Amino acid sequence: MSIDANKAVVGRYFHELWNEKRGDVLPEIAREPVTFNFPSGQAHRPPDLTTWYETAQVAFPDVHFELNLQIAEGDLVAVHWSYVATNTGPFLGRPATGKTVTDTGVTIFRIEGGLIEEMWMVQDSLGLMRQLGVITT
Amino acid sequence: MSNSPAANNAIAIHFFDSVWNKGDFGVLESLISPDADDHSTVGGQPKTERGSASFRGIVSMFRAGMPDIRLTIDDEVFAGDKVVHRWHLVGTDTGGLMGMPPSGKELRFSGTTIVRMQDGRIVERWANVDELGLLQQLGVVPPPPGH
């Protein structure tokens, strides 16, 4: 697959799956179970993309991503993103807070045969946990 | 004159290796533009600062706290004028970090750095770091729920 095709798959991941809430496109853009590489501080560690998406639809159903930077080479696509979301359902075993949160981070995707195979992510988990009131220190 | 993406990556590798692994701060002057924008998130708050001072401050703090600190670049993605590095840092906390007394522990944390290069110098930097993971290892904040 070309670099442009890989970028297009990642574009669909953010715009169609997350922003337009089209769970039906998941099999067209990812091969489950996608391998996740979470940093140690990440609180929410779902086993696969389907679970992640379904959890987010309950906890943060209005989540909306903006793509700030997109850099692709070989089989990798790196995206610097931001999102805004409102916590209107249970998350991390805690009831909904009703709070609107923002977060920013970078995800690097490995694409194989037009499908997302692996993801490495880092995000501002400290800021997120503070906004949700999980961490008060 | 703009460099090739591969040449930009080579400069970025030299820069981060010099600063983090060798403590060579001379490259902060030679390879960061004085009017560079430095974007990071500290204490859960995003911020943007001008020039090399913020990055110098971060590296100085970590090298004082962990004199044996070692940066390893795990992935490199470069295209156009941008270079992405996924990295991890490992070091022994013998000097104390984040206002905590030295723990003597080996700490490990990861992140990504994106730089925009112009004429062989860094003109913009975006740092995204697992700050929460580091604070949890230091015992500053409790482990996440469910752990």
Could you report the per-residue pLDDT of A56-109, keeping only the tens digit for each?
999 999 999 999 999 999 999 999 999 999 999 999 999 999 999 999 999 999
* Structural tokens at position B1: 């004159």
Of A43, A72, A93, the CB nearest to B79: A72
Q: Which residue of chain A has the CA closest to B108?
A: A40
**A1 interface with B at CB cutoff 8 Å:** no
Question: Do the Cβ atoms of A10 and A92 come closer than 8 Å?
Answer: no
Q: Is B128 in Cβ contact with A106 (below 8 Å)?
A: yes
Question: Do the Cβ atoms of A111 and A117 come closer than 8 Å?
Answer: yes
* Polymer length of chain A: 137
Question: Do the Cβ atoms of A116 and A109 come closer than 8 Å?
Answer: yes
Across B48-62, average pLDDT: 94
Instruction: Report d(CA B124, CA B126) in Å as an integer.
Output: 7
Cα separation of the two ends of chain A: 47
Q: How many CB atoms lie within 10 A of CB B6?
A: 12
Mean of pLDDT over chain B: 94
Across B10-27, average pLDDT: 97
Task: Provide DSSP, B29-49.
Answer: HHSEEEEEEEEEEETTEEEEE
Instruction: Report d(CA B68, CA B45) in Å as an integer.
Output: 28
Asked if residue B147 has pLDDT above 70, the reply is no
**A67 interface with B at CB cutoff 8 Å:** no
Please give the backbone phi and psi of residue B136, each rounded to the nearest 5 degrees, phi first. Answer: -70, -40
- pLDDT band of residue B142 (cuts 50, 70, 90) is confident
* Structural tokens at position B40: 């990071």
Q: Is B136 in Cβ contact with A40 (below 8 Å)?
A: yes
Q: What is the pTM of this model?
A: 0.95
Instruction: Report d(CA B25, CA B16) in Å as an integer.
Output: 10
Q: What is the pLDDT of residue A43?
A: 84
Q: What is the pLDDT of residue A3?
A: 96
Q: How many CB atoms lie within 10 A of CB A1?
A: 13
Q: What is the pLDDT of residue B42?
A: 83
CATH class of the domain comprising A3-131: alpha beta
Q: Per-domain residue ranges for chain A?
A: 3-131
CATH class of the domain comprising B5-138: alpha beta
Please give, rounded to a whole number of angstroms, the shortest distance from the CA of A56 to a CA of chain B.
17
Q: What is the pLDDT of residues B74-89, one digit of tens each?
A: 999 999 999 999 999 9
Of A77, A104, A108, the CB nearest to B46: A104
Q: Which residues pair with A83 in a beta bridge?
A: A65, A103
Q: At a CB cut-off of 8 Å and minimum separation 6, what does A136 contact?
A: A130
Q: Which helix (H) or strand (E) holds B16?
A: helix B5-16
Instruction: Report d(CA B138, CA B126) in Å as an integer.
Output: 24
Residues of A in contact with B136 (CB under 8 A): 40-41
Q: What is the pLDDT of residue B99?
A: 87
Across B5-32, average pLDDT: 97
- pLDDT band of residue B45 (cuts 50, 70, 90) is confident
Q: Is the ipTM of this complex over 0.90?
A: yes
* Structural tokens at position A7: 């970028």
- pLDDT band of residue A136 (cuts 50, 70, 90) is confident
Asked if residue B16 has pLDDT above 60, the reply is yes
- pLDDT band of residue B144 (cuts 50, 70, 90) is low
Instruction: Report d(CA B91, CA B137) in Å as an integer.
Output: 12
Q: What is the pLDDT of residue B98?
A: 86
Across A6-30, average pLDDT: 98
Q: What is the pLDDT of residue B1?
A: 55
Q: What is the pLDDT of residue B124?
A: 98
A44-48 contacts at long range (C-beta below 8 A, 24 or more positions apart): A44/A91, A44/A92
- SS3 state at A116: strand
Q: Which residue of chain B has the CA closest to A107?
A: B112
Amino acid letter, B16: F
Please give, rounded to a whole number of angstroms, the shortest distance from the CA of A21 to a CA of chain B.
26
Q: What is the pLDDT of residues B104-137, one digit of tens each?
A: 999 999 999 999 999 999 999 999 999 999 999 9
User: Which residue from B125, B102, B127 is spatially nearest to B40, judged by alpha carbons?
Assistant: B127
Instruction: Report d(CA A78, CA A90) in Å as an integer.
Output: 30
- SS3 state at B126: strand
